[in-house]
Amino acid sequence: MRYFVTIDGRTLEVDLSGERPRVDGQELVAELVAVPGTPVQHLLVDGRSFPLVARPGAGKGSWDIQLAGERFLPEVVDERTRAIRALAGRGPETQGPRPVRAPMPGLVTRVQVAPGDTVRPGQGVAIIEAMKMENELKAEAGGVVSRVLVSAGQPVEKGAVLVEFAS
């Protein structure tokens, strides 16, 4: 099966139909190993290990992935969906910047933006401490901060909106 993964406007073709995965035509030696009792998995690529947490995102085909301390918000579609979009003249889903939500329950330790700030894609907006680890939450798209709904020291639940952007 082939998938098309769009991250920050760049689309990669991922082919999982063979014995080994291929990314944009390049074969990789890769394996995904779960860490029992946790949402963490280890992605082994060409002998190197990377901690990985992958959760479904807000929309169909969207994911919230934390890989080696970085957060990515890719959209993943299969061949059929991509073909339908091409026939309909649509590309990847592009909407205004989505609010930044807590990916897990935790404690806000720092807010890095204020209303009126302009942020770029991937810029950190808040830090949450969960399970004794700090997680920097980043804007998935550029935009202007319209509201900050949390402050340092505030506990939050999974899915809570932390920062909203003007449309």
Name which residue leads in pLDDT, 90 or 55: 55
Mean pLDDT of 54-75: 84
Name which residue leads in pLDDT, 73 or 97: 73
Indicate the pLDDT class of residue 58, thresholds 50, 70 and 90: low
What is the side-by-side strand order in the sheet with 161-165?
100-101, 161-165, 143-148, 118-119
Amino acid code (one letter) for 8:
D
Amino acid code (one letter) for 90:
R
- pLDDT tens profile 18-48: 889 999 999 999 998 999 999 999 999 888 8
| Residue 111: closest CA among 92, 132, 130, 136 | 136
Mean pLDDT of 146-152: 95
**Domain residue limits, the chain:** 2-88, 100-165
Query: What class does CATH assign to 100-165?
Result: mainly beta
Evaluate if residue 72 carries a pLDDT over 90. Answer: no
Indicate the pLDDT class of residue 92, thresholds 50, 70 and 90: low
Mean pLDDT of 67-71: 84
Evaluate if residue 154 carries a pLDDT over 90. Answer: yes
Indicate the pLDDT class of residue 7, thresholds 50, 70 and 90: confident
What architecture does CATH give domain 2-88? 2-Layer Sandwich (3.30)
At 105 the three-state DSSP class reads coil
